[in-house]
Structures are given as structure tokens and as C-alpha cells.
A = this chain, B = another copy of it.
Amino acid sequence: MKVLAGSSSRHCARELASILKADLVEVEQKVFPDGEVYVRVPANLRGEDVVIVQTTYPTPALLELLFLQEAAHDQGAAHITAVVPYFSYSRQDRVFHDGEIVSAKAVAELIELKADRFITVDPHKEHILGFFGVEAHGVSAVPLLAKHLEKMGVQTVLAPDKGALDRAQFAAKCLGAEFDYMEKTRLSGTEVVMKAKSLDVRGKTVAIIDDIISTGGTIATAAAELKRQGATRVIAACTHGLFLNNALPRLHANGCDQVIATDAIETQVSPVGVAPVIADVFLERRG
């Protein structure tokens, strides 16, 4: 087995190769001055079981994945697995307005063109796996995040809204903590308060958990409120840290004592590696 480390997932690829005792191939990648992506795979992939690890964010990284698949396919790889820790375009998972497309499905069709299997981590919605015409797996990084939160002494896990409650409940169960979701109440006009639906956060170390932190607006507001309501420490945790528009400084300024993400997107706050849960897909097959 050969694990190809795409430029957006070098860390995850190294860990995955190590767990699977597979050969690691560091892909040569550059971007030309006109923005065109160049790849070179310095390895012979003929007849090999090839695993390409490449998060598809930002957009040129998607093209890099497709090019690496092309390299494996052209060289005559026996089997190609596309491991996409963060699957971009997953939030356009249905037609919201007439004339739109399901971008997640369109991207899935590009990937499946030269892949026999697809693995992603914490897809925004599970049904996106059904867009793939090949074997597709969504694995959860929540147990890994929970283990990290446990070490940090987290007593309470909160979902930023009711829709994200399942994830918070799962994390809470993993680390033996209580859980709840944040509820918005409109006071008057534009004034809104956010608080945990039922739990009292006074004196507690609290984690807010979500799949994606984008600009982090909701979580910043929640953190500020939790601090005002007496939480001792507030930690924001997510699988996919996009951290757009200076999200990290804003989260800290609003009372987040710490922000942690996984290396599904390799950020400056990605202490949690997702390789172990990805490796499980391969090991279950072997076992």
C-alpha cells in the first residue's frame, strides 16, 4: 500500500501511513504564477493499493486531488482510495433555490471518476455519502475530540444550537460529561440572549462543539454569554476549522479560553489527528 500525501493533508497522511505500516509518498506540488496546479508523484504506483490523502479546501486543493487520482489511474494503480478529511462543498447538499445545483453531488461525481472508494471525516450531512457511485465512508472524529476535551477537564458539552445536539451528546457520552444545547431567546427588537437550555454552567469548564467553525460568529456569541453566566472556562471544539475572517482572535476576544480543531484542515490549532479513525476503515477490512 502507498499513501500519497497531498499538499493540504501532509500531517494526516504521515500518521495514516504510519498506522497502516504503508509507504508514504510525499507528492511534489506547486502552483504556477497563473494559479495552475502542478503535481508530480515520485513513485511507481503500478498494481499498488493507492491511498490519496487530500482535503479539498480551498478550491485548487480539489483539483490537486483529481490530478493525484489521475496520476494513480494513469500509472495503473490496482485500487484507489480518496481520503478527503474535509470534503468542501458539503454545505451545498441540496437545491435551496430554483436553478441551483447540488454542488456536493457534482464534486462527488468528479472524485468518483477515478476512485474506487471515498472516505471523509464528519461530513456536514450524512446523505452526501449517497452522492458517490463508489463505496463511501464517513468516519467520526468526535471520539478523538472528546478524548482531548477529557484531558482538559471538560464537565459540560454544549451544542451551539439544537440541530447540532446529536454531536454534543455523542461527545458527552465519550467523555462521561453532561450535555445540552444553546437556546436563543429574543428579548426585544434585536436583543437576543443565548443560554444552555437546562443546565447551569456556573463554575464549570464548558466545551461548545460543532462540525465546522467557519467565521465562528455564533460560537463567539455563545462563549461570551457562557462567561457572563459564570462558566470558568470555555473551549470551542470542532472537526473542521475554517476560521474565516479572523475567527480565532475574535473567539478569544469573546471569552473562548481555547479553540481546538482536528487536522482534517491543518490549522495552527489542530492538535487532534484524524488518522486513527480513518485507519479503522482499512483495519476493519483486514481484520
Contacts and interface: CB of A to CB of B under 8 A. Distances in A.
When all copies of this chain in the complex are counted, the total is: 2
Give the interface SS of chain A, mostly helix, strand, loop or mixed.
loop
A99 B43 contact: yes
Contacts of A134: none
A189 interface: no
A62 B107 CA distance: 12
A199 interface: no
B67 A106 contact: yes
Interface residues of A, number: 44
A43 B100 CA distance: 10
B33 A88 contact: no
Given A59-B35, A101-B39, A110 B244 contact: no
B214 A33 contact: yes
Given A57-B35, A242-B34, A71 B43 contact: no
A36 B88 contact: yes
Nearest to A70: B106
A74 B98 CA distance: 12
Given A59-B36, A215-B33, A244-B34, A74 B101 contact: yes
